[in-house]
Structure 1
Amino acid sequence: MEALAVKSALRITLSYGAGFGFILMARLLIKLTRPDIVADGGRPAFKHSTELLDEYDFIVIGGGSAGAVVASRLSENPAWNVLLLEAGPDETILSDVPLFMAALQKSPIDWQFKTEPSDTYCLGMKNRQCKWPRGKVLGGSSTINAMLYVRGNRRDYDLWGMENPGWDFANVLPYFIRSEDVRIDRLKWSPYHGFGGYQTVEEFKFSSPIVTKFLKAGRELGYPIRDLNGEYQTGFMKSQGTLRDGLRCSTAKAYLRPCRKRKNLHISLNSYVQKININPFTRRAESVTFKTEFLGVKTIRTKREIILSAGALQSPQLLMLSGVGPKNHLQDMNVSVILDLPGVGENLQDHVALGGTAYLINNPDPTGPSPGFVLPKSLTLPAVQEFTTNKSGPLYGLPECEAMAFVHTKYSNPSDDWPDIQLFLASYADNTDGGVFGKRDSGLTDEYYASCYENILYRDSYSVLPLLMRPKSRGKIRLKSSDPNDPPLIYPNYFDHPDDIKVLVEGAKFGYAMSQTMTMKSMNATLNPYCSPECLKYGFLTDKYWECQIRHYTMTIYHPVGTCKMGPAKDHMSVVDKRLRVHGIWNLRVADASIMPTITTGNTNAPVIMIGEKVSDLIKEDAYYEDRYWFENSVRTR
């Protein structure tokens, strides 16, 4: 009977074509044939709001890349009751499948934020607004991101450590290692990787043939192929991901499922925090007010601390809604000021990229396999059967970044091993899916997409996305109003500093240089000549041409950081100290990407997991000394 149901589902699925109908039916197939993905018995138990206690030792706001880690680690102490509040639902079945990553954007588990309109970037997007996806789901953005595992550069952390002792590379590396369970055989004996940690790291199960060519082209340009999470960062590698048995391994799966039987950890889903209640006289964070799905607004007290892990957009938003932030802005929003902390919402940084480059593959052997990734060829009966029956095939792939590189432009010194450009080497381009995902997720206008890709739809192509690693421009987050249901105002201020566009132009030129290597020429790879006709007036491939392209197809890689900057009290723009305690407020910490003083060199998910690991130890240490202090003083007074 099950086999018949699967066969019928496959027929229905295929009738929908290479789009969302296919994915919806694939969900049914997974439920029928992959109990290892459904795994309801392995998921943590969730508390209905009526079952919650009135008071907890610790309240963690946000169950994302850091919050899930913190809740898991703090609940290791059976004497502490820990409450984790997550605004979204549990992970979906589809979120486990790497290929469906793009389909998770603009879905109910995405906050679907947008930047404010701009006249200098995102010019090819609707209303000149960049889309900024953020995970509204247990696991946060680790449940909807590209799963790429990149730690960053040792110099990133040594720079942090100059003002924040304990955050240099030597002190944070043990937390990366502790968190990790690497399952890549050649890294088995690496001193830079961990084994037996909660967060599994693997290479993607499926690779397109073009990946080998990407790596060979890197060698031709003088770059080594190496583990970019090892001793050195400059070079090329096949992408490493937060994966387990080829499937997504979010922090919810990694950190919360193993502790699902702990009686002292309560997880409340669909619980949107509206305010942290801070006593205006003592400046102590005393409770949290949140809105539940069915029972309205609820307030719960804390005995010890509140840990804010809502991410780089919503952590500063919630601080401001709670009366902590720039005084003038709070007054303009009619928010009662508890503490004038001008750095809240400032210092916003992101890895901005050039999207949309399509290098057409003119395969000299048309009878051979396609070297790239074409979506309609992957959403087929054989591909689904491979996934459901053999646990293999293209559904285990991430065409958006099958390989990556860290390279140097003329603006950085190669001897420093501190690359200023990261490359996503994609086995497809925006033309190859006919606009099903790329156009939709980027928010491109119909006119812009047509001008670029109408003549090359579904043609075999690859793409090289250059990412700016160390932007000098700084953006900000502001409240739209005092209503917590309003999204924050996002001003990334891309390219405010002129050096940023110069470096990114060099990154685009590096991508073109790759196409001129003997390896890529063997596929007769040619850059799409149609894109952005308005840029051709500057001369094809000139610096001005690339700048025009960048300003039109401005792409976020979803790495916002820095809006609750870590720093000493003498830095008036810092928000938290080296132990991630909010300056001037008792019992309140921030632990997520917002505390980064400067953005790391590479994807930010792994560093945020590290932050969750480290702050958990800091909280435990502080609790130990506080308890010891009270015990010793109580003995003296007897």
Structure 2
Amino acid sequence: MTSEYSELSTCNSSLSGPYLQDLCSGSAFILFMTILETYIQASELISGKCERMTPVDNTETVYDYVIVGGGGAGAVVAARLSEISNWTVLLLEAGEDESAAMQIPSFDEPLLGSEIGWNYYTTNESHACLSTNGSCIWYSAKCLGGNTAHNGMIYLRGYKQDYDEWASMGNEGWSWEEVMPFFLKSEDNGEIERVGSEYHSTGGPLSVERFPYIPSFSQSIIAAGIEAGYGYSDDLNGDVVKGVSIIQATNKHGVRRSSSRAFLWPARNRSNLHVSLNSLVTKIVIEDGQAVGVEYDKNGTSNSVNVSKEVIVCAGSIRSPHLLMLSGIGPKAHLDSFGIEVLHDLPGVGENLHDQVSHAVNFTINEPDIFDNDWVAASEYLASQSGPLSSIGLSQVVMALPSSLTTSDYPDIQLFFEAYVASCAPGEKGALKSSGKRSVGVGVGFMRPKSRGRISLASKDPFVYPVIWSNYLDDSRDVTGLVEAIQLTLALANTSALKAHNFTLSNPPLEACSNYTFRSDEYWACAVQQDTLPEWHDVGSCKMGPASDSMAVVDHQLRVHGVKGLRVADASIMPKVTSANTGAPTIMIAERAADFIKNYWGR
């Protein structure tokens, strides 16, 4: 059977989980997934078993640079700094390497909540997540590649206005024109002849292209969007920034390209780059206002390492401010309350946290709810990395639309569709299982939330999770944006393109919203607060801004205000979230950080 499949790996090393059989339930399905996992691990084109970094068991006593976190940003920074052969670089990652299963695009959703996640929960929500007692789960990956190893791979940069606003807030060098070269630096666009070279490039480490498999129902969604007057864009990263589109994603020929696979794996033979896994940094060591090293726990054993140039924190919007506070950098009164010595009073640490939020609107269509993952689909993927397993199904169809809160050229609503995913179980999220009909979910998202939350300590013990106050939907404008997005979604059902499929709303009326007329604006305003879906595009908790901004944590070159030799380089530095998915902007931020460091140290 193996002879007909793509190149087989000759490496004997085992790969860490999660494994396909761990992500799915049902005895018959577990057997199917166990067999599929065996073949996925054996395929070098998919698993990349022979191309991976070999982690070190023991580190040196001192490095030029220590990078905290090997996620979407940290992997990029480590790879770029290690390009300078006489610089020594240590990357400390709290989790494991990404698994073979994570390379399959269709399995992005089952990975959520698995062993490679931190799996936080928000606390004390007053206006959101009410159906789950005011608490929503907050996924964040714990592995090399971070969220880029288990997200939907959607490659959207946001809009010119996003970055020009960053620059207008006192962040020199962050306007659209100034950040664009750093998007292009990473990119290796596999469809450059279609999308053109004005907004795209080739030759970078990060493969960007459409998935090999696009469900045929996508064309009906596109036709409906055009018929409803929403417009069409062949490339939402190009000239036409609104309308319905089939997006590009960080994959290469149907295999995921995380930041780890794209940037770290090609650097695997560099002797000046060390990667230590299962290494949770517990403290940044600061002496006389200078970062001089870190302390970390590796598999239950305490360790420390010194740094001769810089510590770069790339632990994400939850862990980065958490680590700064544990290290004595943060709001003085808050640190004092936990008995932490205040080394630098920086009130903005942990503040300005925000995340995009969505609500699921579900429909059924007049075709059976068949299972998209079977031996036919599996064989096709193993042989040529094509077919249903090679994509995220209908989720690659996105609509970018403006609400009444913005201008027509600056969309703040995103509709993304969910169906035809070859994953674990029949049916999609929100399906009416008893109907026997295929469900099509629409995630309606408001992409520029006004609500702001914060991260605070629950303990000075680094192994105790911080408290996440998301404050979702605290600002009523966020509810307004979501309700408008829902009504734009419902209007699609009235198009002839979708009426042909009997595209029918399947959300049952919520008892908690029974005081309102079903489908009215008032009803949906109630519903979004009951069933709130975080997008896990959290940003802002180590805000970038000038020293004159009392809530800024880092300056325009990502240096922590008031502490030498310490930078933060991840999504936490965004003063405001971009108007789309945050994977591509996070990689751009990492590229900028590496460039700042090289320039500062004369390289």
Q: 1:518 to 1:620 in 2, by over 3 A?
A: same
CA shift digits 1:210-251 (9 cap, x unpaired):
111111111112212320011231122112111012111000
CA shift digits 1:416-448 (9 cap, x unpaired):
x1111011122269x99568x84xxxxxxxxxx
Match of 1:577 in 2: 555
SS at match of 2:366: coil
When the two chains are superposed, the root-mean-square deviation of aligned CA atoms in Å is: 2.5
SS at match of 2:358: strand
Which of residues 390, 402, 413 is equivalent to 1:408? 402
Q: 1:387 to 1:155 in 2, by over 3 A?
A: same
Q: 1:331 to 1:174 in 2, by over 3 A?
A: same
- State how far apart, in whole Å, the 2-side matches of 1:507 and 1:18 are: 40
Q: How does 1:47-58 map to 2 (within 5 A)?
A: 47-49=56-58, 52-58=59-65
Q: 1:317 to 1:18 in 2, by over 3 A?
A: farther
Do structure 1's residue 395 and structure 2's residue 414 form an aligned pair?
no
Q: 1:354 to 1:4 in 2, by over 3 A?
A: closer
Match of 1:348 in 2: 353
The CA deviation at 1:65 is 0.8
Match of 2:93 in 1: 86
Match of 2:284 in 1: 276
- State how far apart, in whole Å, the 1-side matches of 2:206 and 2:424 are: 33
Q: How does 1:132-281 map to 2 (within 5 A)?
A: 132-162=138-168, 163-187=170-194, 189-222=196-229, 223-279=231-287
- State how far apart, in whole Å, the 1-side matches of 2:259 and 2:419 are: 27
CA shift digits 1:340-383 (9 cap, x unpaired):
1000000011110012x2111125xxxxxx6xxx5x52121211
Match of 1:37 in 2: 46
Q: How does 1:394-473 map to 2 (within 5 A)?
A: 394-399=388-393, 401-414=395-408, 417-427=409-419, 433=425, 438=429, 453=432, 455-456=434-435, 458-473=436-451
Q: 1:36 to 1:623 in 2, by over 3 A?
A: same
- State how far apart, in whole Å, the 1-side matches of 2:97 and 2:295 are: 21
CA contact (8 A) 2:255 2:385 kept: no
CA contact (8 A) 2:41 2:47 kept: yes
Q: Which amino acid aligns with 1:118?
A: E
Unaligned runs of 5+ in 1: 364-369, 439-448, 626-638
- State how far apart, in whole Å, the 2-side matches of 1:160 and 1:403 are: 29
Give the fraction of aligned pairs with identical amino acids, expressed as a percent. Answer: 39
Q: Which amino acid aligns with 2:63?
A: Y
The CA deviation at 1:187 is 3.2
Q: 1:619 to 1:311 in 2, by over 3 A?
A: same
Match of 1:552 in 2: 530
Do structure 1's residue 361 and structure 2's residue 370 form an aligned pair?
no
- State how far apart, in whole Å, the 2-side matches of 1:555 and 1:299 are: 39
- State how far apart, in whole Å, the 2-side matches of 1:595 and 1:23 are: 40
Q: Which amino acid aligns with 2:270?
A: R
Bigger mean CA deviation after superposition, 116-125 or 129-138: 116-125
Aligned length, in residue pairs = 586
Q: 1:188 to 1:153 in 2, by over 3 A?
A: closer
Match of 2:487 in 1: 509
CA shift digits 1:559-618 (9 cap, x unpaired):
000000000000000000000000000100000000000000100010000000011111
SS at match of 1:581: coil
The CA deviation at 1:17 is 6.7
CA contact (8 A) 2:64 2:309 kept: yes
**Which structure would you say has the larger Rg?**
1
- State how far apart, in whole Å, the 1-side matches of 2:349 and 2:24 are: 50
Match of 1:441 in 2: none
- State how far apart, in whole Å, the 1-side matches of 2:534 and 2:556 are: 28
Q: Which amino acid aligns with 1:149?
A: Y
Do structure 1's residue 293 and structure 2's residue 299 form an aligned pair?
yes
The CA deviation at 1:27 is 1.0
Q: Which amino acid aligns with 1:503?
A: G
Q: How does 1:481-520 map to 2 (within 5 A)?
A: 481-520=459-498
SS at match of 2:325: helix
- State how far apart, in whole Å, the 1-side matches of 2:199 and 2:4 are: 49
Runs (4 or more) in structure 1 with deviation over 3 Å come to 1-6, 13-25, 185-188, 431-435, 452-456
- State how far apart, in whole Å, the 1-side matches of 2:460 and 2:512 are: 41
Unaligned runs of 5+ in 2: 7-19
- State how far apart, in whole Å, the 1-side matches of 2:124 and 2:33 are: 32
Q: 1:601 to 1:17 in 2, by over 3 A?
A: farther
Q: 1:14 to 1:512 in 2, by over 3 A?
A: closer
Q: Which amino acid aligns with 1:404?
A: V
The CA deviation at 1:518 is 1.3
CA contact (8 A) 2:285 2:293 kept: yes
SS at match of 2:389: helix
Which of residues 97, 102, 112 is equivalent to 2:109? 102
CA shift digits 1:157-213 (9 cap, x unpaired):
000011111000000000001110011254353310010101110111212121111
Q: How does 1:7-86 map to 2 (within 5 A)?
A: 16=26, 22-32=32-42, 34-49=43-58, 52-86=59-93
- State how far apart, in whole Å, the 2-side matches of 1:531 and 1:132 are: 26
SS at match of 2:352: coil
Q: Which amino acid aligns with 1:60?
A: I
The CA deviation at 1:496 is 1.1
Q: Which amino acid aligns with 2:442?
A: V
Do structure 1's residue 129 and structure 2's residue 162 form an aligned pair?
no
- State how far apart, in whole Å, the 2-side matches of 1:241 and 1:461 are: 24
Which of residues 383, 388, 411 is equivalent to 2:377? 383
The CA deviation at 1:455 is 4.2
CA contact (8 A) 2:388 2:420 kept: no
The CA deviation at 1:22 is 4.2
CA contact (8 A) 1:22 1:379 kept: no
CA contact (8 A) 1:204 1:241 kept: yes
- State how far apart, in whole Å, the 2-side matches of 1:362 and 1:519 are: 13
The CA deviation at 1:79 is 1.1
- State how far apart, in whole Å, the 2-side matches of 1:15 and 1:507 are: 34
- State how far apart, in whole Å, the 1-side matches of 2:27 and 2:302 are: 44
CA contact (8 A) 1:277 1:286 kept: yes
